[in-house]
Structure 1
Amino acid sequence: MILAGILFHQWADFSWAVIFFGLLQRWTAQLRPRTLALIAVPWALFTSGTEWLLLVPVLPFAQPIFTLSQPYWIGALVHVSAAALYPLFPYLRDWMANRRPSPHRRVAAGWAGGAMVVAAGLGLLAFLGTQDREWPPHPGRNVEFDQAYMRRMAAHHAQGIELGLIAVERAEDPHLRALARLIVANQKGETEIFANWWRSWFEGALPQATPEDHATMPGMLRPEDLAELAQLPAGSFDARFIALMTFHHQGAIAMADQAIREAGTIRLRLMSHAIRHAQRGEIELMQGREGFGATRAAIANMLRPAGEVLADGALGAERPPRALSGLREAPAAGHLH
């Protein structure tokens, strides 16, 4: 599934390159590398915005999960990295036409060399991360808050995973089961990132949340809530799961919002923004959001302050779930491009 997600990303980026150099060749075919370098970022922002705002809601195979789970800036960065290679096109065009030596060979060599250096640097950072040596290290600001936040969010995710696994087994709506699998995969992945960062920044394993942490975590459910959910008759399960998971997500959103303001490292702030957006989106998906309604909700989710999240998802709510037809089976990788 992860490979399928990667291939889908590559197909989308290749398609935009075909449009740029194929359909628009009347204007783009003769552009010089430096001009292409100037155009690359605006083009990347245009294409990523077109996907995120327009194509996903209207294409027959599109999924609202794309905009509701993936913040726009993630897709924009992917598009920028792909468009950054466009200045190589003039040299490749000359090479395919057997025009040698190409007048663009020096620029192409320098640009390709720079891209290789960046790729090698990112690869080195990724390797250091696998060795529990994240670089740069934690800057040392608000260390106590960051440690408490990582412990608390990991414990919060552990309960979310437990809740999601119950729905994977018991949900009647197949789309709700697919969403539950996605929630479990997302929260397992995020917990592993927290554990890796802890080993790199503070040494040792990510510790369990303290009693004080549990006392201050919003959205946590009682053990009897989960036990009751697991024993509910089939006809009552989906509505109760949506109510419980919405309540649980609202707590994580409030915690993430605080970390966006107070975390001592930009990595925790970015991670928290992604968590907040994804969990707000999952609440929308549980309410059956799709089409342009999903786009509007995704934009609102990025801008809406914490606490303003589907007030009808309170813990005690016992209402039938809306149609979940907008959610299809999603790859385990989670974010589609």
Structure 2
Amino acid sequence: MVAIGVAFHQWADFSWALVFFGLLGRWTEKLHPAAIAGLAVPWAILTSATEWFVLVPLLPFWQPIFTLQQPYWIGLLVHLSSALLYPLFAWLRWPAGQAPSTSAVRFAQRWAVGAGCVLAMSATLGLADALALPLPLMSGNADDDQQYMRHMTTHHQQGIELAQLAVARAQAPHLRALAALMVASQSGENRIFTRWWDGWFTEPMPVCTSEERVAMAGYLTPSQMAEATKATGREFDAVFVRLMSLHHAGAVEMADAEWHSAGDPRLRLMAHAIRHEQQGEIALMNNVEGIDAVRRAMRNMLANNLEQKARKQPHAQ
């Protein structure tokens, strides 16, 4: 699946490069590499928005999971990384060693050096992060960040347990596939939390107490988990959707608080991605697709779960 995802993104980026230098070639071939570099941001916005809003969720792929699970800014970063390499075309279009010494070629060569430095730095930071040696914590409130990491890790562990039940028992194929994706995504997020914790703090991550679990938004009670464990057949599907929706809504609330906090920027960005992902999965469990999927995704990206807020209002009265 990872290889398929990488191949899809590479094919998509290559296709947009063909549009830029092929379909629009009569115009773009006259541009200096500096001008092409200036177009990188608007081109990335245009191409990523076209995919996120139209091509993948609507036509021809009809895959709302792309828009509902992945926040727009992730695709934008991918497209921007690709578009920022377009200025190299002025140099790479020539056979090796035969590029003329023009201002365009010299600019492209300097741009290649800069791109190489950025790539080397990114690879170094990625390797350090993989070895649990991330950059130091940059937080305005380290205690709150610690609590968020502990609580979300515990919350994910229960979500993984519930999703694993659905992988084995769900009758609807789309629920089984979505549950498998939940297991993979939340397991991966927990591994990131663990690496960051090990790199930022000296003590091991404390286990959440029973009192913390009871107070945690969306954390299911033992009786609710027993209900899911005992459910069979079509009954299980309805129970799973109901309980996982409650569980996800709690995670959204926790992630939204971190996103709006003074915490480490990496944690906040990850919290925004989790918030978007889990709201999207609630919609996917309920078969939202088409234009409605795009509307939901837009709302999920920009605001907290509106249904969750509505559910809280009667309790406040």
TM-score clears 0.5 = yes
Structure 2 portions without partners, runs of 5+: 312-317
CA distance in structure 2 between the partners assigned to 1:67 and 1:140 by the alignment? 30
SS at match of 1:30: coil
Cα distance, 1:196 vs. partner? 0.6
Residue of structure 2 in register with 1:331 after alignment: none
Preserved CA contact (<8 Å) 1:88 1:108? yes
Residue of structure 2 in register with 1:6 after alignment: 6
SS at match of 2:114: helix
Kindly indicate which of the two structures has a greater share of residues assigned to helix.
Answer: 2
CA distance in structure 2 between the partners assigned to 1:120 and 1:99 by the alignment? 25
Residue of structure 2 in register with 1:73 after alignment: 73
Preserved CA contact (<8 Å) 1:167 1:241? yes
Structure 1 portions without partners, runs of 5+: 313-337
Q: TM-score scaled by structure 2?
A: 0.93
Cα distance, 1:140 vs. partner? 4.7
Q: Which structure ranks higher in relative contact order (CA pairs < 8 Å, sequence separation ≥ 6)?
A: 1
Preserved CA contact (<8 Å) 2:252 2:305? yes
Q: In the alignment, residue 187 of structure 2 is paired with which amino acid?
A: K
Q: Deviations over 1:147-171 (max 9, x none)?
A: 1111100000000000000000000
Residue of structure 1 in register with 2:249 after alignment: 250
Pair 140,272 (structure 1): closer, same or farther in 2 beyond 3 Å = closer
Within 5 A, what are the aligned runs for 1:265-276? 265-276=264-275
Cα distance, 1:100 vs. partner? 4.0
Cα distance, 1:68 vs. partner? 0.3
CA distance in structure 1 between the partners assigned to 2:203 and 2:190 by the alignment? 15
CA distance in structure 1 between the partners assigned to 2:306 and 2:217 by the alignment? 11
Judge which range, 24-33 or 245-254, deviates more.
24-33
Identical counterparts, % of pairs: 52
CA distance in structure 1 between the partners assigned to 2:92 and 2:124 by the alignment? 28
Residue of structure 1 in register with 2:21 after alignment: 21
SS at match of 2:217: coil
Cα distance, 1:224 vs. partner? 2.6
Q: Deviations over 1:216-270 (max 9, x none)?
A: 2011112232222222230211111100000000111111111112242111111
Q: In the alignment, residue 296 of structure 1 is paired with which amino acid?
A: R
SS at match of 1:58: coil
Q: Deviations over 1:133-192 (max 9, x none)?
A: 101x11252111111111100000000000000000000011110000011111001111
CA distance in structure 1 between the partners assigned to 2:180 and 2:310 by the alignment? 24
SS at match of 2:202: coil
Q: In the alignment, residue 3 of structure 2 is paired with which amino acid?
A: L
Residue 165 (1) aligns with residue 146 (2): no
SS at match of 1:289: coil
Residue of structure 1 in register with 2:118 after alignment: 118
Pair 275,168 (structure 1): closer, same or farther in 2 beyond 3 Å = same
CA distance in structure 1 between the partners assigned to 2:20 and 2:139 by the alignment? 45
Preserved CA contact (<8 Å) 2:99 2:105? no
Residue of structure 2 in register with 1:289 after alignment: 288
Judge which range, 166-175 or 48-57, deviates more.
48-57
Pair 84,303 (structure 1): closer, same or farther in 2 beyond 3 Å = same
Residue of structure 1 in register with 2:315 after alignment: none
Preserved CA contact (<8 Å) 2:139 2:265? no
Residue 106 (1) aligns with residue 106 (2): yes
Preserved CA contact (<8 Å) 1:142 1:263? yes
CA distance in structure 1 between the partners assigned to 2:188 and 2:126 by the alignment? 15
Pair 7,310 (structure 1): closer, same or farther in 2 beyond 3 Å = farther
Q: In the alignment, residue 239 of structure 2 is paired with which amino acid?
A: R
CA distance in structure 2 between the partners assigned to 1:125 and 1:192 by the alignment? 17
CA distance in structure 1 between the partners assigned to 2:208 and 2:189 by the alignment? 16
Judge which range, 274-283 or 24-33, deviates more.
24-33
Residue 300 (1) aligns with residue 285 (2): no
Residue of structure 2 in register with 1:327 after alignment: none
CA distance in structure 2 between the partners assigned to 1:270 and 1:64 by the alignment? 22
Residue of structure 2 in register with 1:238 after alignment: 237
Aligned residues: 311
Within 5 A, what are the aligned runs for 1:141-180? 141-180=140-179
CA distance in structure 2 between the partners assigned to 1:243 and 1:266 by the alignment? 32
Residue of structure 1 in register with 2:224 after alignment: 225
Cα distance, 1:109 vs. partner? 1.5
Pair 287,311 (structure 1): closer, same or farther in 2 beyond 3 Å = farther
Residue 279 (1) aligns with residue 278 (2): yes
